[in-house]
């Protein structure tokens, strides 16, 4: 954990702190905390409104710091630590944090758009985490090794194929015991892949030579 790049470490700590607050707060304090940070479609775009509620725009990102239970948090953190740290070492701190925010927003907007008029309340970092996997593919494909490019392509096809299959069949919701934002996953993944080409950075991380005599 101490070898994590700073952005991934900070995001991890914020998610853990938010999860702790979810389990500590009670009553009106808990309700305020959840309603303020979660993405709620009726608050973001009031029924009958002609546009989004500007005061709810931060929820496009803040919902990513809330999680339903420990397993939900652990799964998202596992992917974030694996793919997020890889992407941050290529992009750098500020572009990486911007990528996290934009892919989280893309995931929420994708779920909101395809949900239609049905009310939506969403929490979890899955959209942003899928965004990191999409961005990671860019750097894996840029490798000069054909074997690594083939593995990256296989990963993309399997990753998105399973997401599509579980989403269409409803099997993912059944296995998880809750409704899963598969459209948010796809939206975050596509946004991450595209933004990885548009954001500054993208250079391979420099490897530090080992210290002599240690």
> What average pLDDT does range 40-51 have in this prediction?
88
How far is CA 163 from its chain centroid?
14
Give the tokens for residue 118. 């049905």
Could you count the other beta carbons within 10 Å of the beta carbon of residue 154?
10
Q: Do residues 187 and 107 touch, judged by C-beta distance below 8 A? A: yes
pLDDT in tens, 93-106: 999 999 999 999 99
> What does the pLDDT read at residue 214?
45
Task: Give the global pTM.
Answer: 0.81
Q: Do residues 90 and 138 touch, judged by C-beta distance below 8 A? A: no
Residue 177: left if φ>0, alpha if ψ -120 to 50, beta else—which one? Answer: left
pLDDT confidence tier of residue 158, bands split at 50, 70 and 90: low
Total residues found in the chain within this entry: 214
> What does the pLDDT read at residue 168?
53
Q: Is the dihedral of CA 36, 41, 47, 50 positive or negative?
A: positive
CA dihedral 75, 77, 81, 84 (to 10 degrees): 100
> What does the pLDDT read at residue 202?
57
Give the tokens for residue 30. 């808990």
Residue 170 has pLDDT above 90, yes or no: no
Enumerate the H helices of 4-125 as residue ranges: 6-24, 27-37, 41-44, 59-62, 70-79, 85-91, 93-115
- What interhelical angle do 146-169 and 182-198 show, nearest 10? 150
Which residues on neighbouring strands pair with residue 40, listed in sequence order?
121
Report the range of poorest mean pLDDT among 47-56, 80-89, 144-153, 194-203. Answer: 144-153
Residue 129 has pLDDT above 70, yes or no: yes
Q: Do residues 123 and 38 touch, judged by C-beta distance below 8 A? A: yes
The residue ranking higher by pLDDT, 43 or 209, is: 43
Which residues on neighbouring strands pair with residue 39, listed in sequence order?
122
Residue 206 has pLDDT above 70, yes or no: no
> What does the pLDDT read at residue 171?
41
Cα 160 from Cα 48, distance rounded (Å): 35
């Amino acid at each position: 954990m101490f070898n994590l790049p700073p952005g991934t470490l900070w995001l991890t700590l914020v998610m853990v702190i938010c999860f702790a607050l979810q389990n500590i707060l009670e009553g009106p304090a808990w309700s305020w905390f959840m309603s303020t940070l979660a993405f709620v479609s009726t608050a973001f775009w009031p029924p009958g409104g002609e546009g989004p509620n500007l005061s709810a725009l931060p929820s496009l990102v803040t919902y990513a710091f809330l999680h339903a239970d420990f397993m939900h948090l652990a799964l998202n953190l596992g992917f974030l630590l694996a793919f997020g740290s890889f992407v941050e070492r290529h992009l750098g701190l500020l572009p990486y944090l911007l990528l996290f925010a934009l892919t989280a927003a893309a995931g929420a907007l994708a779920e909101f758009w395809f949900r239609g008029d049905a009310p939506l309340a969403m929490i979890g970092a899955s959209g942003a985490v899928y965004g990191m996997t999409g961005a990671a593919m860019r750097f894996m494909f840029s490798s000069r090794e054909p074997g690594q490019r083939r593995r990256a392509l296989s990963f993309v096809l399997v990753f998105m194929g399973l997401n599509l299959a579980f989403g269409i069949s409803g099997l993912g919701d059944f296995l998880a015991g809750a409704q899963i934002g598969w459209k948010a996953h796809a939206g975050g993944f596509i946004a991450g892949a595209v933004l990885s080409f548009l954001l500054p950075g993208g250079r391979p991380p420099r490897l530090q030579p080992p210290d002599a005599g240690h």
